[in-house]
Amino acid sequence: NCLTLCRGLHIHHTFESGGLFPSMLERHPELAATITTLEAEHAKIAGLLEALQTLVSTPSTTSVLAAVDELITELTQHLDYEEEQLIPLLD
Amino acid sequence: GSFGAALRLIHGAFRRELALVRREVASS
């Protein structure tokens, strides 16, 4: 489940960075700073996902749990910010 | 309209899945 989630998140963020963000930026140039922040968060989350995928192959549950908690913190913050900034413009 | 709702749905699914993964890791 953990690896499936990592792959799913990676694909989702790749779609946003490659399709959604450029198209929104074209229609709403004022979003430039927001998109830059979201892209930086995508890069940070990609690093966390990579670290988690490496940890899953090691036997220590404690370190995996810490990595999952860190991912939850970062991702929750990222999703909240993205919804707050983009959804009013998509609706 | 529907695109915003779709994004929220996708995000909701990731939030739920991640909480599930956390429970699985914590109980393993």
Q: Does A71 touch chain B (CB under 8 A)?
A: yes
By CB atoms closer than 10 A (0-12, 13-18, 19+), residue A12 is middle
Which stretches of chain B score pLDDT less than 70?
1
Q: Which residue of A has its CA nearest to B21?
A: A2
Residue length, chain A? 91
Q: What is the ipTM of this complex?
A: 0.90
For residue A24, the chain B residues in CB contact (below 8 A) are: none
Q: What distance in Å separates residue A56's CA from the closest CA in chain B?
A: 10
- Residue A75 pLDDT > 70: yes
Supply the DSSP symbol for B1. -
pLDDT tens profile A1-57: 788 888 899 999 999 999 999 999 999 999 999 999 999 999 999 999 999 988 888
pLDDT of residue A58: 77
The whole-number average pLDDT for the span A76-82 is 96
